[in-house]
Amino acid sequence: MSRRAERITSVADARYLARRRVPRLVATWMEAGAGTGVTVERNLRAFEEISFNARAARHWPERDLETTVLGHRISMPVIAAPVGALGMVHSDGEVGVARAAGAAGTIQVVSFFTLRSIEDIVGAASGPIFMQLYYPGDREVAAPIIRRAKQAGCAALVVTVDSAAEPHREYPMRGRIDLGHPGLRDVLKVIPQGLVHPIWAARFVRDYRRRSMAGMVTRPNGKPITMFEMTALTLRASPVWEDLPWIHEQWGGPIVIKGILSAEDARRAVDVGAAAIVVSNHGGNILDGLPATVRMLPEIVAAVGDKVEVLLDGGVQRGTDVIKALALGARAVLVGRSYIWALAAAGEAGVHQIFRVYRADIDRALAGLGAQSVADLDGSYVRVPPDWLAAIRSSAGGR
Say what the pLDDT of residue 268 is. 97
Distance CA 102, CA 79 (A): 11
Separation CA 375–CA 136 (nearest Å): 38
Position 138 confidence tier, pLDDT thresholds 50, 70, 90: confident
Secondary structure element (H or E) that encloses residue 325, with its range: helix 319-327
User: Which structural domain, as residue segments, surrounds residue 328?
Assistant: 3-396
Span of 125-134, 171-180, 264-273 with lowest mean pLDDT? 171-180
- Contact (Cβ atoms closer than 8 angstroms) between residue 42 and residue 291: yes
Mean pLDDT, rounded, for 295-314 = 96
User: How many domains, the chain?
Assistant: 1
Whole-angstrom Cα distance, residue 267 to residue 323?
25
* DSSP 3-state of 277: strand
User: What is the tens place of the pLDDT at every residue in 58-101?
Assistant: 989 999 999 999 999 999 999 999 998 888 889 899 999 999 99
Helix (H) or strand (E) run with residue 11 in it: helix 11-21
- Please report, for the domain that includes residue 101, its CATH number: 3.20.20.70
Buried-exposed string 332-362: b where 16+ CB fall within 10 A, e elsewhere: bbbbbbbbbbbbbbbbbbbbbbbbbbbbebb
Per-residue pLDDT, 300: 96
Q: How confident is the model at residue 213 (pLDDT cuts 50, 70, 90)?
A: very low
Between 77 and 198, name the one with better pLDDT: 77
Band of residue 314 on the pLDDT scale cut at 50, 70, 90 = very high
Q: Secondary structure of the chain: what % helix, strand, coil (to 5)?
A: 50, 15, 35
Give pLDDT, residue 30: 79
347-387 residue pLDDT tens: 999 999 999 999 999 999 999 999 999 999 999 999 999 88
Candidates 143, 148, 54, 77; CA nearest to 110 is 148
Segment among 48-52, 134-138, 281-285 with least mean pLDDT = 134-138
- Catalytically active residues, by annotation: 282
* Position 242, amino acid: E
How far does CA 333 lie from the centroid of its chain? 9
pLDDT at 75: 98
DSSP state of 373: B
Which pLDDT score, from 0 to 100, does residue 82 have?
Answer: 96
Q: How far apart are CA 123 and CA 117, in angstroms?
A: 10
Is-contact 115 224, C-beta < 8 A? no
Summarize the confidence of residues 272-282 as an average pLDDT: 97
Read off the pLDDT band of 4 (50, 70, 90). confident
Instruction: Give residue-wise pLDDT tens across range 164-197.
Output: 766 666 655 555 555 544 555 655 566 676 667 6
CA distances in angstroms from 386 to 49, 321, 391, listed in the order given? 11, 19, 9
Mean pLDDT (the chain, rounded)? 87
Q: Does residue 289 contact residue 34 with C-beta atoms inside 8 Å?
A: no
**d(C-alpha 382, C-alpha 367), whole Å:** 15
Burial class (CB in 10 A: 0-12, 13-18, 19+), 168: exposed
